[in-house]
Amino acid sequence: MPWPRRVQLLQQLAGHRSGRHAPGAALGDFLVTRPQPPGPRLQRAIERLGLSALPLALSLDQPDDGAPPLPGMNEGYRLQIDAARGESTVELRAHSVFGALRGLETLRQLRDLTPSGQPLPALKIDDAPRFPWRGLLLDCARRYLPLDALKRQLDGMAAAKLNVLHWHLTDDQAWRLASTRYPRLQSHANADGCCYTLDEARQLVAYAAERGIRVVPELDVPGHTTALGAAHPELFSAPGPYQPERGFGVFKPCLDPRKPEVYEFLEHIVAEWAAVFPDPCLHIGGDEVEPTHWREALGLDPQVAHAAFNARLAAILAHHGKRLVGWDEVGEGEAAGLAPAELLLQSWRGPDHLQRLARRGHPVLLSAGFYLDQPQASAFHWRRPIVADPAPLPAGRPSQGWQLEIALPVMTLRARLLLWDKEAGACLVFDQQAPLACRVEPSPDGEGELRLALDTWMGETRAVLRRAGAEGGLSGHLRIGNVRYAATGTPLPDEPAAPPPAPAWDAESAARVQGGEAALWAELVGPEQLDLRLWPRLFAVAERFWSPLPDEDGGDEADLYRRLDQISAWSVQALGLHHEAQRLEGLRRLINEASSSQRFELLQRFAALLEPGQYYARQHSKKAAGRYHLDEPLNRLADTLPAENRAMQDLARAPLADPQRWRALLGQIQADQPALLALLEATPGLQALRPLAVHLPALCALGLELLDREALDGYAIDAARHRLDAASTMVDEVVLALAPALEQLLEARLCAA
């Protein structure tokens, strides 16, 4: 992973087993100049990746001059492995050092994942990325991440062929990069005292460049600047004093765009950063500017003021040879004197905004759908197409419509549900969103129940809605990721009309999409959770950025997970990633380190039935309880769980495939129950999970009944659903992943009947 653009087994290449090959579509024509030998950077990479013993012939069309990775670098490569008489010979050819680095990573995976004692597979790979910008945002402003941990992620990024580290260094909670000219930034803008020196930043840039990875720093202005206000309140729109924020959210402090000293400060900071970061791009944030101080204290029009601020900052960046990169909001007001092509915009608000910005002429990046601080299934990220026309809506007028209200802990989601008929389909229209086509899934209850499935910006979304009341309303739930939320539907007063379809992409706008970035925001991620939240899901995201779409290369989700499981285990051994170690260490912290191995194994078996609440369920829960801040410890069981439960996923995908596996699992749960309840009661950090554990006996009984009972009558079906409903509530930020697996077992039994 990521899967190459074109892979051919050599036995399929009749007459082409050796010698030069016609260039593939991935690479175009190689230069006709004499191939260049690898330079010192590639020699170091070969040694670092443990490839020195391979019979490797490596050549470049352009010599490596030691320059750092830059936008538009050529990352294509051709890798050919010939096998004869049990021996393998390897030829790697690339335009540039950066393509060769990508090819070496492919070769390392092939070498390491080939069974011991067997020759490397004889094949030919022509490969190049789908998008030139394939990044990862790491938020070191909210929570400091040690330099060694950042370097470890760069090793993983290189293996996944990601090429941009977006380093989020400033926010309301802290300013993380030291300044020679403004020492108050390190002394007053970091409540925890943690700050990267300029030399440490240079080290990280050099470490990344060795791996063909750019480092793009983010200087988040004019909002998200409360920590800066603690050091320099004189730059702000309202008088201080300010302190770095302990909470999370959107806050009022923002720079005063009228003050010359603001631009003098930015001039000097950009100069300092330009001396450290050679990349021609610098991210200015620009998102979520809370307008109160601009409007009330200064009497400014926020949109006009923001556009003028961005124009002046863009001029400062240009003076230092930097291009402005910003979030969606930077494109909302035309910055005076700037052409759209000069602003590279990153969309956190979704494909609709991405397309709108691209149509206006901006080069764009997508991050929505790739937030790894939100637990989600890897397949959800992998399915996000980045550039794809929306699924078509059914023809004609919908026959029915409802106004839905979905109760989240801190807000109410509203959407119109339009139904043509169960064969034609349905769509959901969320506020300020383009219509989303839904699959209408068959229901054993027939006309009395409506089941919908779709992917939204929030994650995998499923609805189960039943007719309620004489007025034709609906009642049920919407499941976002793995968490259920109560939903009600009121019939629309008028005959519904079909919504206007979302516009299709035109070729010019699609060509402006530069790629995407995964994002790991740090509200719920510290050093102890870093790898656990990133890996192995980041490999699935990286594949979406690098590889052709699944419908083009024939991939499927079963194959994705087969490869992802292999890569996950490999990355622990070969790359030293810590996601498995962090899971186990988190479990050990929950119980006494001196506890018996039996207690630890019992906790592991219980954790293997769970998942953390997905999407923003955990954040919403903390916010509703007043615990959404830096002083909230990350010491719950939810903090130790992977984003998805692979074992329960496998059972849910093929619930009738292996009855013996079900019986062994349910029998083990039943045997564990007395000791589990005692463990939860005796462990302060686990006591809140007892309400989940008490559902396990009923769920085990249900599972065995579904396996053993020949026929299910209406009473048994209703009782089964009641048990599953009761066990599907999030408790202490986790859910029972066993419940949806049993739900699929029930549905499989009903369909089989």
Q: Could you confirm whether 268 is annotated as catalytic?
A: no
Catalytic site residue from 224, 353, 578, 620: 224
578 and 585 Cβ atoms separated by less than 8 Å? no
Structure tokens at 650: 């496998």
427 and 392 Cβ atoms separated by less than 8 Å? no
Q: Could you confirm whether 61 is annotated as catalytic?
A: no
DSSP 3-state assignment of 478? strand
Catalytic site residue from 171, 172, 329, 543: 171
Long-range contacts of 318-322 (CB under 8 A, 24+ apart): 319/267, 320/270, 320/271, 320/274, 321/274, 321/280, 322/270, 322/274, 322/280, 322/281, 322/282
104 and 46 Cβ atoms separated by less than 8 Å? yes
Count H helices and E strands in the chain, helices first: 25, 23
DSSP 3-state assignment of 644? coil
Cβ atoms within 10 A of the Cβ of 217, count? 22
Structure tokens at 209: 């460049």
Residue 512, phi-psi category: left (phi > 0), alpha (psi -120 to 50), beta (remainder): alpha
**DSSP H helical segments within 211-247, as ranges?**
226-231
Q: Which residues of 95-109 are buried (b: 16+ CB within 10 A; e: fewer)?
A: bbbbbbbbbbbbbbb
Q: Could you confirm whether 288 is annotated as catalytic?
A: yes
Catalytic site residue from 288, 290, 445, 747: 288
75 and 4 Cβ atoms separated by less than 8 Å? no
Look up tokens 């890996």; give the residue: 535
Closest CA to 553 of 2, 127, 1, 5: 5
Residues with catalytic function: 171, 224, 288
